[in-house]
């Protein structure tokens, strides 16, 4: 089974219409299933079809930003808990 990314032009499903004998998996022909998409008229090899350097770089950057955001939220929550604890301690010592 060949894992294919969706069409980079329209997002539709991609298919491997036929794999000629002697063709490697990465060289298998790939087409878009959306007949209204210009990519449906062209056959790409699987390696080229699944190569998306800009998309892959953006997904990696988004994942890093999400991890950074979770870390910052956790740090802010810890700081808020310390401030709340200090505030409660200060009020008890005034009484």
Same domain as 57, residue 47 = no
Cα 94 to Cα 29: distance, rounded to the nearest angstrom: 78
Higher pLDDT, 3 or 10: 10
Same domain as 17, residue 60 = no
CB atoms within 10 A of CB 84: 10
What's the mean pLDDT in 41-47? 85
Gyration radius (Cα) of the chain, Å: 26
Question: Which structural domain, as residue segments, surrounds residue 36?
Answer: 1-51
Same domain as 3, residue 34 = yes
User: How many domains are there within the chain?
Assistant: 2
Same domain as 46, residue 9 = yes
Q: What is the pLDDT of residue 93?
A: 60
Same domain as 47, residue 22 = yes
Same domain as 68, residue 43 = no
Q: What is the pLDDT of residue 47?
A: 86
Same domain as 38, residue 20 = yes
Same domain as 23, residue 47 = yes
Same domain as 2, residue 45 = yes
Q: What is the pLDDT of residue 2?
A: 60
Cα 75 to Cα 86: distance, rounded to the nearest angstrom: 16
- pTM for the full model? 0.56
């Amino acid at each position: 089974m060949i894992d294919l990314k969706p069409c980079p032009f329209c997002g539709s499903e991609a298919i491997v219409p036929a794999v000629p004998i002697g063709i490697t998996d990465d060289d298998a022909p790939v087409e878009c299933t959306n007949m209204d998409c210009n990519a449906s008229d062209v056959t790409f090899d699987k390696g080229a079809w699944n190569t998306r350097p800009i998309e892959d770089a953006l997904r990696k950057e988004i994942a890093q930003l999400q991890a950074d955001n979770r870390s910052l939220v956790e740090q802010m929550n810890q700081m808020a808990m310390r401030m709340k604890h200090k505030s409660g301690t200060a009020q008890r010592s005034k009484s």
